[in-house]
Amino acid sequence: MAEPIYVAIPIAPKVNLIGLPDKFSGQFLKCWQQQMKSWLMMKGLLTVIQVTRPKLTDTNPRTVEIAQWTEKDQIGKGAILSALSNTLFNVYCSDSYTAKSLWDELDQK
């Protein structure tokens, strides 16, 4: 009988959503943004709305850095989407957004 093969499956860390700002419905954007920035900062996620994805190059693949950035970005994007009204969530829930591009798009409105 063959030995069992164990594979590590990464599990995203849990982020406690307690204290998440009230849902943004399209009014008072700057107030909501300030509350959201404070929440992201307390969770160690503020960089997701400030920094773009690290570049992948042939000479410096930076795969670990990109994986860490991707994980934080997904958590941050999920938090931002969770703080949107259902109407806005339906508009912005596309996989094409990063947390930063979502934040920048909301800032344009």
CA distance 39 to 37: 5
In a domain, 72, yes or no: yes
Q: How open is the CA angle 20-53-16, to the nearest 5 degrees?
A: 20
In a domain, 23, yes or no: no
How many folded domains does the chain comprise? 1
* Predicted local confidence at residue 59, as pLDDT: 66
* Predicted local confidence at residue 8, as pLDDT: 52
47 contact partners, CB below 8 Å, separation of at least 6 = 72
Give yes or no for a contact between 79 and 17, defined as CB atoms under 8 angstroms apart.
yes
Report the predicted TM-score, pTM, of the whole model to 2 decimal places: 0.81
In a domain, 47, yes or no: yes
Task: Domain of residue 87: give its range.
Answer: 29-51+60-108
Q: What is the mean pLDDT of each successive set of 10 residues along the chain, which is 109 residues long?
A: 58 75 94 96 94 76 81 93 96 93 91
In a domain, 71, yes or no: yes
In a domain, 103, yes or no: yes
